[in-house]
Amino acid sequence: MRILLSLILSLALALPLAAQTKVPQSQAEISLSFAPLVKEAAPAVVNIFANRVVQQAESPFRGNPMFQDMFRDLFQTRPRMQNSLGSGVILSEDGIVVSNYHVVGMATEIRVVLTDRREFEADILLADEDSDLAILKITSDAPLPHLDFRDSDEVEVGELALAIGNPFGIGQTVTSGIISGLARSGTATGNARGYFLQTDAAINPGNSGGALVDVNGKLIGVPTSILTRSGGSNGVGFAIPANLVARYVEQARAGNDSFVQPWAGIFGQAVDFSLAEGFGLTVPEGVVISSMHPVSPFAEAGLALGDIVLSVDGQAVNSPAEMLFRMSVRPVGDTIAVEYLSDGTIEQAEVALIEAPDTPARDARVIEDGPLAGLGVSNINPAVQSELRLPTSMDTGVVVTRLTGPLRRLGLRVGDVLDQINGLEIEGTGDVATAATMNTRRWRVDGVRGGQRFSYRFRI
């Protein structure tokens, strides 16, 4: 009887505590229920519906004088509306929303739906396909629920995390897990490239662009992709760290419609075990510089080919993607501290964060007439290198920037570097314009793609 009375008294004392609604502050509290945390964070996570107009594949006989009329009705090109579904996170009471580029990119109409069923039309402020991030803006007469950022550099493996989103379009769903990895790079699927947090909280199609939050309801990342064999969650999901998302929000508020990323002007590779032995390192660490642009800010700071970058801004770096991330979370115009190994000695340097220089002039041109009509070209400079992801060794010459019309069927691609057209050396875009005026039916285009030489021949 005494034991029963003691148990009833304990339960009675516990009931008022269980009825309280607040964000858990300790492991003991979080073990009771995630409900207070979800009530705090979920209203800031939204469903996103995006529509875009796409064109169906063109007829393979288009341009063929014999067959294009015969099969006109069979292969007629028609615009088609494509719908996408995903999630987003409100980041400010005035309506700044983050989502993934693959959810809203190129959309003609974006609709944001809150948990209380309010709906808003959204405009894209900034979109970046490479990072798979998009910053949106919605307008409301009343302040909107929103999540605060947490410093994602403070996140540790083993922390509890919740993923909130709209998987499979079934409505807002919450899954729990832990942070299972940091500094993941080169492993995400889709468009996103770079540095990610890894979690085993279930992330499924539709979770993209949602929230990964900690036990205090702060945003630590934006889920962007998964590794899967089945198409569903296998417990390996990736999120873009909050520190990088915050930088995108800052640039969007500043009026940028595309992300301005600091330019390194170097190409590096992770130091593996064999390289570590060659450099006399006891353990593999850092990024070795294998090529460098002459005006790279790293070169200006005193680094050289063969040096190993060990840390950036006080944080160890072990892959090029991690190094770029450390630069990207700092604004252009700042300087960062870099620790590097040079000839067996650890050195320190201050590296300026700059935009890729758009000099010498790119002199972009598009050929309007003749067999090369629709060919767009540009002189190579650091800005063009950065935009087209050309190797730093390709710092001169002429690159293909656009292809329309019949040339698309020739085999040329954007990013190809042109060497010769019909034997004429191509040293600038003016040479391409000159070659386009040649009075001949036989054409030959020579160039380099991905380090490999190519040659295309055709007749008109």
Residues 226 and 163 in one domain: yes
In a domain, residue 404? The reply is yes
Query: Of 351 and 278, which is predicted with more confidence?
Result: 351
Q: Is residue 231 part of a domain?
A: yes
Please check whether residue 232 is in contact with residue 143, taking contact to mean a CB–CB distance below 8 angstroms. no
Residues making up the chain, counted from first to last: 460
- Does residue 53 lie in a domain region? no
The bridge status of strand 417-421 relative to strand 219-226 is: unpaired
Domain of residue 392, CATH code: 2.30.42.60
Q: Are 92 and 59 in contact (CB under 8 A)?
A: no
For residues 374 and 451, state if they share a domain: yes
pLDDT, greater one: 392 or 18: 392
Alpha-carbon distance 41 to 33, whole Å?
A: 14
Q: Is residue 18 part of a domain?
A: no
Whether 183 is in a domain gets the answer yes
Domain boundary among 352, 377, 393: 352
* Whether residue 272 sits in one domain with residue 245: no
User: Are 335 and 427 contained in the same domain?
Assistant: no
**Marked catalytic residue, from 84, 87, 180, 208:** 208
Q: Is the pLDDT of residue 20 over 60?
A: no
Average predicted confidence (pLDDT) for the chain: 85
Residue 89 lies in a domain: no
| Domain region containing 310 | 266-352
Does 173 reside within a domain? yes
List, for residues 323-357, the tens digit of each pLDDT value.
Answer: 999 999 999 999 999 999 999 899 999 999 999 99
The residue with greater pLDDT, 9 or 448, is 448
pLDDT at residue 239 in the model: 93
Of the three residues 253, 276, 300, the one that is the final residue of a domain is 253
The H or E element that residue 278 is part of is helix 273-279
Parallel, antiparallel, or unpaired: how do β-strands 442-449 and 109-113 relate?
unpaired
A 10 A CB-CB count for 38 gives 19
Whether residues 345 and 369 fall in one domain: no
Of 87, 131, 132, 307, which residue is the catalytic one? 132
* Among 344, 347, 195, residue whose Cα is nearest residue 279: 344
Query: Is there a single domain that holds both residue 236 and residue 305?
Result: no
Q: Both tokens of residue 154?
A: 């403070």
Helices (H), 51-170: 101-104
Task: Give mean pLDDT, residues 20-24.
Answer: 61
CA distances from 460 to 111, 331, 416, 438, 441 (A): 48, 51, 22, 12, 5
Distances (CA, A) of 35 to 175, 250, 355, 447: 12, 32, 45, 61
Are 163 and 249 within one domain?
A: yes
pLDDT for 192 equals: 43
pLDDT by residue (tens digit) across 226-274?
Answer: 776 666 667 788 999 999 999 999 999 999 999 999 999 998 999 999 9
Please pick, among 87, 102, 180, 185, the residue that the annotation labels catalytic. 102
- Of 253, 287, 316, which residue constitutes the final position of a domain? 253
**Count of domains forming the chain:** 3
Is the separation of the CB atoms in 126 and 259 below 8 Å? yes
Q: Does residue 329 sit in the same domain as residue 380? A: no
Q: Which pLDDT tens digit goes with each residue over 119-160?
A: 999 999 999 988 899 999 999 999 999 999 999 999 999 999
User: Which CATH number covers residue 235?
Assistant: 2.40.10.10
Helices (H) and strands (E) in the chain, counts: 10, 26
- Confirm whether 335 is domain-assigned: yes
Side-chain-side CA neighbours of residue 299 (13 Å): 13
403: exposed, middle or buried (Cβ count in 10 Å: 0-12, 13-18, 19+): middle
The per-residue pLDDT for 418 is: 96
CATH code for position 293: 2.30.42.10
Give the pLDDT confidence score for residue 9 in this predicted structure: 42
Cα(50)–Cα(41) distance, integer angstroms:
23
Q: Are residues 317 and 282 in the same domain?
A: yes
Catalytic residue flag (residue 69): no
β-strand partners of 211: 164
Is 102 one of the annotated active-site residues of the chain?
yes
Give pLDDT tens digits for 44-74: 999 999 887 655 555 554 555 544 554 444 4
- How much is the pTM? 0.80
**Residues 156 and 234 reside in one and the same domain:** yes
Domain match, 228 and 193 both: yes
pLDDT the model gives residue 26: 67
In this structure, how many other beta carbons lie within 10 angstroms of the beta carbon of residue 247? 19
Q: Residues 278, 239: one domain? A: no
